[in-house]
Amino acid sequence: MGRVLAIDFGERRIGLAISDPLKITAQGLPTIDTHITRDVLSCIQSIIKEKNITKVVVGMPRNMDGSIGFKGKQVKKFIGKLTQKIGVEVVAWDERLTSVQSKRSMKEMGTKQRKKGEVDRISATLILQSYLESFSKKAEDA
């Protein structure tokens, strides 16, 4: 049974999270530092092969009114390149307020917010958990 990978795209860091095989829970993976990892797409492709990923969910930043701004356009370009490279389904998922939730979670856990990679990893985990929960809610409603 394949897993789902979530990506919180950033120019400096890319947060990652992976689902369990049953697609119930999300766990953070190490963050990719784009200044250290030159070929980010190949790095993600390796993770997909290694972890038996069947779907990738990419956080899509939206303005509060639902429109897509500058950052969203960057993410769309990234999704286009990623789709061509990896050969599995890629889904854009609304990520509004995940950074705020990440920072709040870190504060509650007593983790210093200076660890930027942690914010990105937690954001990816929140994106993935939201995506997974949307399917469990649909199943309950059916």
Kindly report the CATH number assigned to the domain that includes residue 97: 3.30.420.140
Domain span at 47: 3-141
Please state the φ and ψ torsions of residue 131, each to the nearest 5 degrees.
-60, -50
pLDDT digits 0-9 by tens, 110-137: 655 556 678 889 889 999 999 998 876 6
Is pLDDT larger for residue 111 or for residue 71? 71
pLDDT confidence of residue 110: 62
Assigned token pair, 137: 């809610």
Q: What pLDDT, on the 0 to 100 scale, is given for residue 63?
A: 80
Q: What is the pLDDT of residue 30?
A: 95
Q: Could you give the number of structural domains in the chain? A: 1
Q: What is the pLDDT of residue 102?
A: 55
Tens digits of per-residue pLDDT, 14-67? 999 999 999 999 999 999 999 999 899 999 999 999 999 999 999 999 887 878
